[in-house]
Structure 1
Amino acid sequence: MTEKLADPSTDRETLLVELVDESGVAIGACSVADAHRPPGTLHRAFSVLLFDSHGQVLLQQRAAVKTRFPLQWANTCCGHPLPGQSVVEAAAIRLGEEFGMTADLAEVGVFTYLAGDDTTGRVEYEYDHVLIGVVEDGPPRPDPAEIAHWAWIAPQQVRDDLVGNPGKYTPWLTQVLEIADQAHRR
């Protein structure tokens, strides 16, 4: 199964990702599909978390067709910059593709994680840049090929549910939420 954009001629699994070492230095490139085959290859990624004027965060339930962690709840959007592409630029593009939204995004931290998806057999091994933004415009316009459901939720409510229902969420959400919420409260 491959993850498709609205344009059926673009297969996201064939796009290139930037391979990195443990400190985030670029060391090469490979396809999205190759980077996510077991045991996983460390590559650059980004995770965006948007806040509203009340301090709530925008979460999405990933679409059933996602090749990694389908139907689990995650941060607003995530993805991979192309080799050499600015993380902020790539994140802004992906935010528009997934939610039909724009926001001034700021990078607020980075972490590395390794997680296998028992459902699809794929692996996430990512050097993940966390970006935040605040939105005050109209409601999101999600692409149903990308997002099954979405919700604005208070960060503490997400933390509480992560404790009681960890399998409902992507494995990277806890770290993204902590980095993003700490930066947002500064």
Structure 2
Amino acid sequence: MKRDNVILVDRQDRAIGEMEKMQAHREGVLHRAFSIFIFNGAGQMLIHQRAASKYHGAGLWTNACCSHPQMGEGLAAAAAERLDYEMGIQCALAWTFSFVYCGKVENDLIEHEFDHVFVGLFDGEPKLNSGEVAQYQWIDMETLNEWIATSPEDFTIWFREALPMLLEEMSNSLGV
């Protein structure tokens, strides 16, 4: 499952080209990505610690899965395939919202992504790809929010950006 390129996009998520992934992150060029959030029936969120071998964010905690679709690949299909590859999870995913963020990360890289957020429900145990994931945990939202508030450096930049938006979106959709 090679994902060596990214799809360059404009601010309306229209594809305008393709670039090698590391070059795009060195230059901070806006590109398409997806982030997947998985919940269980008890309302806990699945988070994972990124493998030590990751080119950035190694050892940081984040949502269930994130990656980049490849040119010619459908976004939902790419998300489902990557979730299975990284976490051994197969479940229905629902696109929820998109957002753009930009921020410096380690190794002099820049994340500048048009990120599509998907949500799924899964009550099993993940089967981790050790090249991608060091460990995982199911966590309730109160504990997660306290952890982020006291130690934001433990989490990836995109997770810290997306989580409040996701919680607001979920609250609005539930009419709470």
TM-score (structure 1 length as normaliser)? 0.87
Q: Spell out, residue by residue over 1:20-51, the C-alpha distance to the aligned partner (whole angstroms, 9 max, x if none).
A: 011211111111111111x4110000000000
- 1:62 to 2:47 alignment: no
Q: How far is 1:183 from its partner?
A: 4.0
Instruction: State the secondary structure of the residue aligned to 2:157.
Output: coil
- 1:34 to 2:20 alignment: no
- 1:129 to 2:116 alignment: yes
- Following the alignment from structure 1 to structure 2, what is the Cα–Cα distance between the partners of residues 112 and 140? 29
Contact 1:98–1:147 (Cα < 8 Å) also in 2: yes
List 4+ stretches of structure 1 deviating above 4 A.
none
- Alignment gaps of 5+ in structure 2: none
Q: Which residue of 1 aligns with 2:5?
A: 16
Greater fraction of residues in strand? 2
- Following the alignment from structure 2 to structure 1, what is the Cα–Cα distance between the partners of residues 73 and 165? 23
Aligned residue pairs total 172
- Following the alignment from structure 2 to structure 1, what is the Cα–Cα distance between the partners of residues 161 and 97? 10
Name the Cα RMSD after superposition. Answer: 1.5
- 1:74 to 2:51 alignment: no
- 1:156 to 2:145 alignment: no
- Following the alignment from structure 1 to structure 2, what is the Cα–Cα distance between the partners of residues 23 and 160? 34
Q: Which residue of 2 aligns with 1:175?
A: 161
Q: Spell out, residue by residue over 1:63-105, the C-alpha distance to the aligned partner (whole angstroms, 9 max, x if none).
A: 0110111110010000000123221111101000101111100
Greater fraction of residues in helix? 2
- What percentage of residue pairs aligned between the two structures are identical? 35
Q: Spell out, residue by residue over 1:131-185, the C-alpha distance to the aligned partner (whole angstroms, 9 max, x if none).
A: 000012x211111111011000012221221111010000111232223334445
Contact 1:48–1:77 (Cα < 8 Å) also in 2: yes
- Alignment gaps of 5+ in structure 1: none
